[in-house]
């Protein structure tokens, strides 16, 4: 069971890196719009705040999983205990934040809140 959890966590991390990498390329690589379009758009900043919130919410699960991986590599059994319910709540919050991002991105792409 832990192996599947660690694989899912790794895929989530890979998805985050791809999401951030492609986002930076689009925002500052002049692929579609000039960087000024993004920097002057209020929804861009809302989107960045949502990304930051998701990252902050992921710090606890990420550090917990790192500790579990270290314990497992030393031949010890990671103890989930009370952590498990808290991890599920953090995951639910991250999913809710991540689901908001495409809606904000759609508003941003339409120039709905330009300064």
35 belongs to a structural domain: yes
101 pLDDT band (50/70/90 cuts)?
Answer: very high
SS3 19: helix
d(CA 2, CA 11): 14
Report the alpha-carbon angle 66-87-92, nearest 5: 125
Is 9 part of any domain?
A: yes
pLDDT of 114: 80
CA distances from 26 to 20, 31, 36, 108 (A): 10, 6, 12, 13
What is this structure's pTM?
Answer: 0.85
Say what percent of the chain tops pLDDT 70.
99
Total domains in the chain come to: 1
Phi, psi of 33 (to 5 degrees): -130, 160
91 within a domain of the structure (yes/no): yes
> Is the model's pLDDT at 44 over the cut of 80?
yes
Is the pLDDT reported for residue 28 higher than 80?
yes
Q: Which domain holds residue 101?
A: 2-109
Residue 29, pLDDT > 80, answer yes
Q: Is 114 inside any structural domain? A: no
């Amino acid at each position: 069971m832990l192996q599947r959890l660690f694989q899912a966590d790794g895929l989530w991390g890979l998805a985050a890196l791809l999401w951030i990498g492609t986002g930076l390329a689009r925002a500052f690589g002049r692929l579609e719009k000039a960087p000024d379009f993004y920097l002057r758009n209020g929804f861009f900043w809302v989107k960045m705040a949502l990304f930051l919130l998701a990252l902050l919410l992921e710090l606890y699960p990420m550090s917990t999983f790192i500790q579990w991986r270290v314990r497992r590599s030393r031949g010890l059994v990671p103890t989930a205990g009370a952590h498990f319910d808290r991890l599920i709540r953090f995951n639910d919050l991250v999913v809710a934040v991540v689901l908001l991002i495409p809606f904000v991105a759609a508003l941003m792409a339409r120039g709905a809140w330009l300064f």
